[in-house]
A and B are shown apart, each in its own frame.
Chain A
């Protein structure tokens, strides 16, 4: 229906018969993810109702092709006017002159600094913002209510120590000593590498990176303590988890074979659909002193260099709408990703929501890692654990190797 209407509208507009004198059509691109597409369709509909002279067409691609298509289309003048991209790619897009800064009169930096969660400041360059998110993501601790009840645990753990005790109580083994149910899932391949960097290292009193994420700093006492804490979960006398247990951490949790699981807010949607799984969610555990730390990431919207003249004005208006309070609430309700502004996120209804609340409260103390190459940097964390687990290296030695390798990646990236 939307398509028909748009086609009819475009046809009329091209014949000069459109209702508005200056009908403009702009293109919006994002990667394909059911809920995100649904949410954007709603936003576009609302936006068009308010701006009848602007038509927005959405194109989406499988994630795997996304970057390639954008890179090929914009220079050819066929790409989007407004594009969604991962925050970690921003530098590359700016350098390649594929996106242009947001106008400072409509998006004054001082206002954005004040209104958005502080992590979006990574998108700022002087007086201008390059891009802005509609929604952000953070981590929290999911727990299986049925298993908690079975083990007689009344409330989710508040501290790391409690978490380990609860995990021990939830772990089950068969006669041969094989783990058949883990207390908590583990595996740097999922979200644990974020938890380790921005959560554990900071909670142990360290700072994972310094110099605006250009220098690795976790090869420190705090880092070693964090590495030991993490490896102790699946090594030693009485492990409470196993790496690769049931193939993937989220699979083990979905199957009801894991008591606890650390994951992002984007997991909510897929857990909601699992029959027979009663789960709750709570903030990431604090350390003994009550210090909490979290990780957040986001996708941003930006105006491409293709948008000029009328299209540019329309793109600015559209950007204004997709970063508005209303859009953020729709995004939260449809996709489950958290509003990028405290004014929306921290409303009583949202911040106390049983499901979204822990994630939204986590945003207040979240850090966003600036990655040079996220998958390569994650892989180093995976290997750090593997050297300890499979080759018997000490966590300290293994951590030193990882730090050196990661510094090399960062140096190479920032030297360009």
Chain B
């Protein structure tokens, strides 16, 4: 106790701050850092859930490096990111931009756009899966067949499957991005637009010189948020291709699905952990990169 009494007020404040912080810190250590550390540990081991864990050094990473499926999956994961992020960004901006100007039934339409975001991804994936089926049950193909156009293989195709799975994923996230964009648009001071109008500037200049530059923080946020989302895509892919997880010849398999498959179908925990570490590293790099871009903005 004397030790505590001898402390300065400032030091006592620090002690108390840490006492209060202890609970969340402990919580984070136990449920976040410990499992993360453990996952890194397991990635250097061989473990099938049942037996003892044995050290294998870098074997799992070496196997990963030489696994053609991994590289296919790696490319797929980035395809989701590279197609998904810009497409969803442009779509949500265009919709938000026009919705912002719309007065008639504004909230109702906004609600319609937001609805998919609130719906369960699993339910949506199964509905879209049905849309994509061939004749005689699929909605899209039945429509095509009724006007005499040959049916399209959506999911059972190595080229169409990935965009077909991505489309509902983009659509589902759109509502959220539109809301964020609209908030961003509303935050731009009206006086800038008034000044532009007095100067007689065209809408294109207003858009590119005022709106988009001032939306930059919003855009960066959405890019970071949606790219993490697309890098972690799982539920849409898993549910739309449950029969053949990852689509024909792994054409839609993302990294998270590969991890799931390795861990809970093959029970190869070490290999799955190695994949997890790789995914974690990718997410970290992508996020840090984007945060760095955000900082350079200031």
Write the residues of chain A forming the contact surface with B, with a CB cutoff of 8 angstroms.
64, 67-68, 71, 92-93, 95-96, 98, 174, 176, 178-180, 187, 189-190, 242-248, 257, 373, 375-376, 379, 382-383, 386-387, 390-391, 416
**Complex contact A387–B148 (CB within 8 A):** no
| 7 shortest interchain CB distances as A-B pairs | A96-B50, A96-B51, A178-B135, A375-B265, A189-B243, A71-B49, A180-B136
In the assembly, what is the distance between CA of A95 and CA of B47, in Å? 12
**Complex contact A178–B134 (CB within 8 A):** yes
Closest to A178 in B: B135
**Complex contact B134–A92 (CB within 8 A):** no
Instruction: Flag whether B151 is at the interface (Cβ < 8 A).
Output: yes
**Set A95, A174, A178, A390: member contacting B248, Cβ < 8 A:** A390
**Complex contact B49–A178 (CB within 8 A):** no
Instruction: Fill in one digit per residue for B265-281: 1 if any A CB lies within 8 Å of its CB, else 0.
Output: 11100000000000000
Q: Which stretch in B35-43, B77-85, B115-123, B152-160 binds the other chain? A: B152-160
- Pull 11 A–B residue pairs with CB atoms less than 8 Å apart, ordered by A: A92-B51, A176-B145, A179-B135, A180-B135, A187-B243, A243-B156, A244-B155, A375-B261, A386-B158, A390-B157, A391-B158
In the assembly, what is the distance between CA of A242 and CA of B267, in Å? 32
**New A-B contacts (17) at CB < 8 Å, excluding given A96-B48, A180-B135, A190-B243:** A67-B49, A92-B50, A92-B267, A174-B136, A243-B156, A244-B134, A244-B155, A247-B129, A247-B130, A247-B133, A247-B243, A248-B243, A257-B136, A375-B265, A383-B250, A390-B157, A391-B249
In the assembly, what is the distance between CA of A189 and CA of B241, in Å? 11
**Set A189, A248, A386: member contacting B249, Cβ < 8 A:** A386
Instruction: Fill in one digit per residue for B244-270: 1 if any A CB lies within 8 Å of its CB, else 0.
Output: 100011100000000001001111000
Instruction: Flag whether B293 is at the interface (Cβ < 8 A).
Output: no
In the assembly, what is the distance between CA of A246 and CA of B250, in Å? 21
- Measured between beta carbons, the chain B residues less than 8 angstroms from A390 are 156-158, 248-249
- Measured between beta carbons, the chain A residues less than 8 angstroms from B156 are 243-244, 390
In the assembly, what is the distance between CA of A259 and CA of B199, in Å? 74
- Measured between beta carbons, the chain A residues less than 8 angstroms from B136 are 174, 178, 180, 246, 257
- Measured between beta carbons, the chain B residues less than 8 angstroms from A180 are 135-136
Write the residues of chain B forming the contact surface with A, with a CB cutoff of 8 angstroms.
46, 48-52, 129-130, 133-137, 141, 145, 148, 150-151, 155-158, 243-244, 248-250, 261, 264-267
**Complex contact B266–A373 (CB within 8 A):** yes
B272 → A minimal CB distance (Å)? 13
**Complex contact A189–B50 (CB within 8 A):** no
* Best-buried of B50, B243, B267 by chain A (most CB within 10 Å): B50
**Complex contact A178–B145 (CB within 8 A):** yes
- Measured between beta carbons, the chain B residues less than 8 angstroms from A176 are 145, 148, 150-151
In the assembly, what is the distance between CA of A71 and CA of B51, in Å? 8
Closest to B144 in A: A176
In the assembly, what is the distance between CA of A178 and CA of B261, in Å? 34
A141 → B minimal CB distance (Å)? 21
A150 → B minimal CB distance (Å)? 17
In the assembly, what is the distance between CA of A96 and CA of B266, in Å? 16
- Measured between beta carbons, the chain A residues less than 8 angstroms from B244 are 189, 379, 382
In the assembly, what is the distance between CA of A280 and CA of B283, in Å? 54
In the assembly, what is the distance between CA of A179 and CA of B136, in Å? 8
**Set B129, B150, B267: member contacting A67, Cβ < 8 A:** B267
In the assembly, what is the distance between CA of A288 and CA of B192, in Å? 85
- Measured between beta carbons, the chain B residues less than 8 angstroms from A382 are 244
In the assembly, what is the distance between CA of A357 and CA of B157, in Å? 40
**Complex contact B264–A64 (CB within 8 A):** yes
Closest to A187 in B: B243
- Measured between beta carbons, the chain B residues less than 8 angstroms from A242 are 134
- Given contacts A178-B135, A189-B244, are A376 and B158 in contact (CB under 8 A)? no
B47 → A minimal CB distance (Å)? 10
- Measured between beta carbons, the chain B residues less than 8 angstroms from A96 are 48, 50-52
Closest to B161 in A: A390
- Measured between beta carbons, the chain A residues less than 8 angstroms from B48 are 92, 96
**Complex contact B267–A174 (CB within 8 A):** no
* Best-buried of B52, B134, B155, B261 by chain A (most CB within 10 Å): B134
- Measured between beta carbons, the chain B residues less than 8 angstroms from A71 are 49-50
In the assembly, what is the distance between CA of A416 and CA of B155, in Å? 38
**Complex contact B157–A95 (CB within 8 A):** no
* Best-buried of A92, A190, A242, A244 by chain B (most CB within 10 Å): A244
- Measured between beta carbons, the chain A residues less than 8 angstroms from B46 are 416
Closest to A176 in B: B145
Closest to A188 in B: B244
* Best-buried of B136, B151, B155, B265 by chain A (most CB within 10 Å): B136
- Measured between beta carbons, the chain B residues less than 8 angstroms from A245 are 134
A316 → B minimal CB distance (Å)? 23
